[in-house]
Structure 1
């Protein structure tokens, strides 16, 4: 850190040193920097503490960004003495203790406060109710505790992100006066109670994430809200959904996994703009409605761990997963900072949209449009044959149909899913051979057909040759090809050779047939032309 910049009174106004590999600390600073308005040290390796007398050292600061460094210790109270501060970012450091209460209330010009991902604690908002911050407030990834205040006034606040803290108590926003709020994230806390109908008064709210709490009861009908991103997953909500809650025609991502929601899926036909649909881990029943096929923007479909039954609509094969590849769809969630802060004006960073693939849970934010496309229908009661039309989904990356009651063969058309990385058909009642067309799946990283009734030989070429026997367990008539291109039983080496072993190799079959023909004509020739053979024939 070039502290020689601060060794004397200077006329320097803006200092940008972000995205480097600077070390050291901000100490010592011997002279007041009366003209300095911007300090940006973002993403370095600077350590130490903020100067205790920081307001005396930098009395005219407008922007202080020391995010993504190694600062530690307490946040000095003297920060509140910098009257013109408009942007303060202390996130992604090791600050501890409490945020001085005056930071929340005494900054008449503070547009954005970010202290995310530190070790800060104490009462949320320092126990204050009237917040002076005008646009963005990020306190996520800390240890703040207490209840979310009932009587909270934030003026023109547009973003409140409190996710991943230790907040508790009931969620009651009945007296909140925040008509400008666009983003509210309270995920990963210990909040209890019900979702108050007053939440419908946030008519400008575009993102609501209250996932991974202890909320109960039903979801209020907020048809006047134009939400784009809604995450209610990981609670104990129990609405019977026969009609859509919220105005879901505007939804881009809906995640209500792991609750107690019930009803059928006919309401999803109203999700005209949906890209991510996660309904897994609930009590939905009935059939997978063909109306699902009309939602052509979908990238991720998770209906797993429900009580869905019936056959799978063949029209699902119409999903080509060629949806939005850019970030333009996210431009609806902006913070609209003043013009002087436009370099810091970025769309809100989405968090918490998860999808299980390759046997693991992955969390996607803005990247889920380009990183993942998949369908998870596992752990339901679906039956009938798997529609061959599913093989038309050439851009799908993950397909999970496990733990159902599918019968019949694996469609040969699955060889057309060129980009698939994870295919799980295990724990069904599938029969017949494994189609050789699956060896074309060059991107396949996870594959399982275990616990079915498959028969024949396991293809040993392409990606299928790289999977262990755990991918094929409990298929008693399914055999492994040996080094001699023989197909022998893989589970019982003492068992007799079967038809697959005898005729698994077409070349071997041709050699055996040719040998039989030669032996037949040799016998005829011997009988007719050899003296001994002729005598034998006469005796007969």
Structure 2
């Protein structure tokens, strides 16, 4: 860190050294830097603590960004005496202890306050019930406790408090944010219901209340134009189709791990959806062909529900092809701060693939695509049209009631990385076309009724027997380099018609032969004639 720039003679006004590989610390600086208004040293390797007398060294700072370094220790109270501070970013460091309450009271006006991803704790906002005017507030990824005050700044545009230890209810007085575009309270211990007052947040683009203890139904907010909605990991209930928001604007909908009910006929209204996660609820009925109209889809998770019936073959018509130039979802454009050169960092999305839950960051829509329909009651044959999904990376149809063969067209899934067809009633051989799947990392057809030989060529040869258990008529090849398909099985009805006449002919022929053998023995053999004479 070139502290020699901050000498007595220096008259630097704007110091921007961000995104380099600088080390060292801000100490020692012996002279007041009254000209300095901007310090931006984000994304370096600077260590140590903030100077205890920082307000004396930089009395006229308006922007201080030391994010993504290795600063530690407490936040000095002297920071509160820099009255002109409008942007303060201490995120992604190792600060610990409580935030001085003066941070939330003494600044004349602070537009952006970022304290994310440190080791800070204590009561949220230092126990202060009324905050100064501010536009963006980020305190996520810490250990703050207590309830969220009701008297929040009405001009807030971004409020991110996710992954803390906050508790209590969000009553009607909390929702007075007419300009709010981002609200993220995920990963806390918030209880109670979602108030209908939330419908007044007509500018809200992202709402994340996931991983809390919320109950009740979702209010019907037809005027909200949300782009991202995450309510997963709560105890919400009710018929979701009756409580829908304005779904035409939704790009990502995640309501997994709740108790929602109803059918899925409302899916056709999600015209712009990319991520659709409805897993682990109580949805029932059939998977409507309306799902196939959602041509921008990248993720479909309908797992662990009560869905039944046939799988629409038109799913094979969805491209699942990401587009980096897709202008309809550019988070940097939506949530870019008005006075600061950063953008809102979308919370990571998760998707179960390769047998594990994986987390994907900002490039999620470009890097991942998949379908998870596992743990339902889907039946019938797997549509061969699914083989047209050449850009899909994960397909999980396990724990259903599918019958019939594995479609040979699956060999056309060129980018597939995980294929799970286990725990069904599939029959017939494993198609040799699957040996062409060079990207496959996880493969399971366990607990089916498959027969024939396990292909030992191509990429399938890399999988062990744990991919195939409980298929009694499926055999591994121990000799030879190829798996020749066996004869087609004869239908049972044909076998029954064929066995009876053959058995009859054999029995009759045996009887005739035995009869004439006895006659011949009696008249031609000396012992046989003596027996007849005695009779």
TM-score by length of 1: 0.87
Give the Cα–Cα distance (whole angstroms) in 2 for the partners of residues 399 and 244 of structure 1.
30
For the pair 1:474 / 2:470, whether they are aligned, the reply is yes
- 1:37-56 alpha-carbon deviations (Å, 9 max, x no partner): 11122122211111111111
Question: 2:192 matched to 1:196?
Answer: no
- What is the DSSP-based 3-state SS (H/G/I as helix, E as strand, rest coil) of the residue aligned with 2:210? coil
Q: Which runs of 4+ in 1 moved over 3 A?
A: 485-488
CA offset at residue 110 of structure 1?
Answer: 1.6
Aligned-partner Cα distance in 1 for 2:172–2:138: 19
Contact 2:85–2:109 at 8 Å: present in 1 too?
Answer: yes
Give the paired residue count. Answer: 485
**Hey, what's the Cα distance between the residues in 1 that align with 2:197 and 2:185?**
16
Question: What is the CA distance between 1:155 and its match in structure 2?
Answer: 3.4
CA contact (8 A) 2:63 2:85 kept: yes
1:115 and 1:140 mapped to 2: Cα distance? Answer: 7
Pick which of 122-131 and 478-487 moved more.
478-487
Q: 1:409 aligns with which of 405, 413, 416?
A: 405
Aligned 8 A contact 1:480 1:487 in 2: no
Structure of larger gyration radius? 2
The equivalent residue for 1:367 is 363
What is the CA-CA distance between 1:467 and the residue it aligns to? Answer: 0.5
Aligned to 2:262: 263
1:111-130 maps to which residues of 2 (within 5 A)? 111-130=111-130
Q: Match of 1:268, SS?
A: helix
Aligned-residue RMSD, C-alpha: 1.7
Q: Secondary structure of 2:107's partner? A: coil
TM-superposed deviation, 1:82: 1.2
Distance of 2:299 and 2:129 partners within structure 1: 40
Give the match's secondary structure for 1:481: coil
SS at 1:378 equivalent: coil
Per the alignment, residue 102 of structure 1 pairs with 102
Q: In structure 1, how many angstroms separate the alpha carbons of the residues matched to 2:350 and 2:418?
A: 16
C-alpha distance in 2 between matches for 1:458 and 1:482: 10
Conserved 8 A contact 1:174-1:199? no
Corresponding residue of 2:242: 243
Q: After alignment, is 479-488 or 329-338 more displaced?
A: 479-488
1:181 positional shift: 0.5
Query: What's the offset of the Cα at 1:104?
Result: 2.0
Q: 2: distance between equivalents of 1:397 and 1:57?
A: 54
Q: Counterpart of 1:439 in 2: which secondary structure?
A: helix
Matched, 1:399 2:398: no
Q: Structure 2: where are the runs of 5+ without partners?
A: 488-535
Give yes or no for the alignment of 1:179 onto 2:178: yes
User: Structure 1 residues 324, 133: CA separation in 2 closer, same or farther (over 3 Å shift)?
Assistant: farther
Aligned-partner Cα distance in 2 for 1:90–1:289: 49
CA distance in structure 2 between the partners assigned to 1:36 and 1:60 by the alignment: 7
8 Å contact kept, 1:134–1:154: yes
Q: After superposition, what is the alpha-carbon deviation per residue over 1:352-400, rounded to whole angstroms, capped at 9, x for unaligned?
A: 4211011111122432211111100000000000000111111111100
Whole-Å Cα distance in 2 between the matches of residues 304 and 87 of structure 1? Answer: 44
Q: CA deviation at 1:21?
A: 2.4
Residue 57 of structure 1: aligned partner: 57
Partners of 2:202 and 2:225 within 8 A in 1? yes
Partner of 1:459: 455
Deviation at 1:81, TM superposition (A): 1.3
SS of the residue aligned with 1:431?
A: strand
Aligned partner of 1:389 in structure 2 is: 385
Measured after TM superposition, the shift of residue 487 of structure 1 is: 6.4
Q: 1:20-39 alignment to 2 at 5 Å?
A: 20-39=20-39
Secondary structure at the aligned position of 1:174 is classed as: helix
Could you tell me which residue of structure 2 aligns to residue 337 of structure 1?
A: 338
Contact 1:146 1:168 in 2 (8 A): yes
Give 1:68-147 correspondences, 5 Å limit.
68-147=68-147
**What residue is the counterpart of 2:376 in the other structure?**
380
Residues in 2 aligned to 1:367 and 1:133: alpha-carbon distance in whole angstroms: 33
Where does residue 156 of structure 1 map in the other structure? 155
Show CA shifts across 1:19-49 (max 9, x none). 2222222111110001111112212221111
Q: Output the CA distance in 2 between the equivalents of 1:366 and 1:72.
A: 27
Residue 200 (structure 1) shift:
0.9
| Structure 1 residue ranges without an equivalent (≥5) | 489-497, 501-540
| 2:434 aligned partner | 438
Please name the residue that 1:223 is paired with. 222
